[in-house]
Amino acid sequence: MAHASDGRSMEFKLPDLGEGLTEAEIVRWLVEVGDVVAVDQPVVEVETAKAMVEVPCPYGGVVTARFGEEGTELPVGAPLVTVGVGEGEAAAGGPARERGAGDGAAPAQAAEPPAAEPPAAEPKPEGSGNVLVGYGTSEAPARRRRVRPDRPTATGASGRANGRVRAAEPVGGAVGTAEPLDGPVPVISPLVRRLARQHDLDLRELTGSGPDGLILRADVEYALRAAAAQGGRTADREAGAGGAPAGAAAPAASPSDGTRVPLKGVRGAVADKLSRSRREIPDATCWVDADATELMRARTAMNASGGPKISLVALLARICTAALSRFPELNSTVDTEAREIVRLDGVHLGFAAQTDRGLVVPVVRDAHARDAESLTAEFARLTEAARAGRLTPGELTGGTFTLNNYGVFGVDGSTPIINHPEAAMLGVGRIVPKPWVHEGELAVRQVVQLSLTFDHRVCDGGTAGGFLRYVADCVEQPAVLLRTL
């Protein structure tokens, strides 16, 4: 039977989740300290700005420490768990947590850094060989966090770790804080540096809670709150000494006071992208009403044949891809540095989906190569994954054109914001019975409003109008689409 001392403690860090993501929030731990985990078993569920992701651990063994509580935001590269590799057999003789957590003591591996270098002859524990995005699993990352005494921050506030936000705290073990670095203060992003500058906060007087002393946004925000609270207490003392009499009523709240909702996660990512689109893209919108009666009849006939049901959005997607083959200018992006328009070969069709977590835009890959049945199945799969919060970053990025069916909200029209860095978006309103002149006579027809918002840099109004008119013709006479296939 192997013993704990026969193995090694491997530290697994939050991997690079791709698509430029730099941080993630711990939503739910899937393992406890003392649990035995297999290679590639998910150990934590995190939320990024793109999606909810289960993170698998590339090492098998006993979990000896967890870093971060649920709700904590960690940067890429911060420790997630340590695993006693080779302790699985020892755990078979009894629950692993009885050896450390059961008696209230810290896990044996949690507070001690591993030896700097293993003996040359000692074989290295192997990972699964599966490579997470931007993260290899075949070799253990070196540990650089060392324990040193806590020191207060510039605010002088007491409380949570002497004013420091601890983003990585092993359960039942000691806190590892980073040694101070020479040179510029390490900050997770320029936005955090700007936030500190706007409030005259000296970053050199803060202790970062990220790996190697990296200063996170949470560190700056906590220091600002502590400073504000300290200032409020000082003002209260001054007012009590020579100002308002004791027992005087507090001033009424400002009319501008209200509930603050952090722009983070999916909501924050959407806000950043929409803001960038408005800043960088000179967009314009054109729209047209179309008689969708024949399209609805065609769909009814297709679904009466006994085969798989075809969705309306799938038919609209087929019309979009056909229109883009005739007007490829709208399936493009603008390279601002090279001052070039890049016309893209394939159509990766995004579609707007409203979920409990906010608006997301899943992407149907190679939509131009799919028939209506395949499109229907893919739309259904991605919509279900979106509502469950299980879309991967790859399923939420890489779109070249977006279809926005806002008619499901019961509205007729809209001028949507382009999904940067795409060049256009087709909007579809609700389909409702309306008076319409059909074949020279007034009749009640199924009418829909179509709108196209486009980047005026990639084409002029003639091209945009031609695209939208072709889409409307296909909606009114589906046979037009058949002639182009």
Same domain, 377 and 310: yes
With cut-offs at 50, 70 and 90, classify the pLDDT of residue 87.
Answer: low
Secondary structure (3-state) at 284: strand
Domain end point (choices 208, 238, 268): 238
In-domain check, residue 103: yes
In-domain check, residue 84: yes
Task: Label the pairing between strands 432-438 and 441-455.
Answer: antiparallel
| Domain harbouring 15, CATH code | 2.40.50.100
Catalytic member of 150, 371, 456, 473: 456
Higher pLDDT, residue 481 or 431: 431
Can you give the pLDDT at residue 27? Answer: 86
Exposure string for 164-173, b = 16+ CB within 10 A, e = fewer: bbbbbbbbbb
Same domain, 305 and 214: no
In-domain check, residue 267: no
Question: Is the omega angle on the peptide bond into residue 119 within 30 degrees of 0, that is, cis?
Answer: no
Q: Are 474 and 480 in contact (CB under 8 A)?
A: yes
Instruction: Give the list of residues 6+ apart from residue 477 with CB closer than 8 angstroms, or none.
Output: 294
Same domain, 165 and 139: no
Structure tokens at 197: 């500058």
Instruction: Give the list of residues 6+ apart from residue 384 with CB closer than 8 angstroms, or none.
Output: none
Same domain, 173 and 137: no
Q: How many domains does the chain have?
A: 3
Secondary structure (3-state) at 481: helix
- Write the single-letter amino acid at 103: D
Q: State the average pLDDT over residues 397-409.
A: 93
Range of the domain at 68: 1-143
With cut-offs at 50, 70 and 90, classify the pLDDT of residue 186.
Answer: confident
For the entire predicted model, the pTM comes to 0.56
| Domain harbouring 345, CATH code | 3.30.559.10
Same domain, 191 and 119: no
- Tokens 């149907």 correspond to 364
Domain end point (choices 181, 203, 238): 238
Task: Label the pairing between strands 363-364 and 424-428.
Answer: unpaired
In-domain check, residue 134: yes
Residue 460 annotated as catalytic: yes
| Domain harbouring 181, CATH code | 4.10.320.10
Give the Cα separation of 427 and 421 in Å (integer). Answer: 17
Same domain, 357 and 398: yes
Can you give the pLDDT at residue 264? Answer: 77
Element (H, E) at 76: none
Same domain, 167 and 138: no
Same domain, 318 and 185: no
pLDDT for residue 181 is more than 80: no
Q: pLDDT by residue (tens digit) across 254-278? A: 556 788 888 877 778 778 888 999 9
Closest listed residue to residue 79, CA positions, set 5, 178, 163:
178
Q: Write the DSSP symbol of residue 96.
A: G
Can you give the pLDDT at residue 199? Answer: 84
Q: pLDDT by residue (tens digit) across 4-48? A: 434 588 999 988 776 566 788 888 899 999 999 998 899 998 887
Same domain, 117 and 169: no
Can you give the pLDDT at residue 31? Answer: 92
Phi, psi of 230 (to 5 degrees): -65, -40
Domain end point (choices 143, 168, 194): 143
In-domain check, residue 136: yes
List beta partners, residue 364. 349
With cut-offs at 50, 70 and 90, classify the pLDDT of residue 174.
Answer: very low
How far apart are the two ends of the chain, measured CA to CA in Å?
68
In-domain check, residue 257: no
Catalytic member of 103, 289, 460, 473: 460
Instruction: Give the list of residues 6+ apart from residue 453 with CB closer than 8 angstroms, or none.
Output: 283, 284, 285, 415, 416, 417, 418, 424, 425, 427
- Write the single-letter amino acid at 251: P
Same domain, 137 and 165: no
Phi, psi of 450 (to 5 degrees): -110, 140
pLDDT for residue 2 is more than 70: no
In-domain check, residue 346: yes
Q: What is the DSSP string of 176-230?
A: PBPPPPSSSPPBS-HHHHHHHHHTT--GGG----SGGGPBPHHHHHHHHHHHHHH
Same domain, 206 and 300: no
Secondary structure (3-state) at 477: coil
Q: What is the DSSP string of 114-144?
A: PPSS--TTSPPPP--S--BTTB--SSPPPP-
Same domain, 38 and 119: yes
Residue 368 annotated as catalytic: no
In-domain check, residue 356: yes
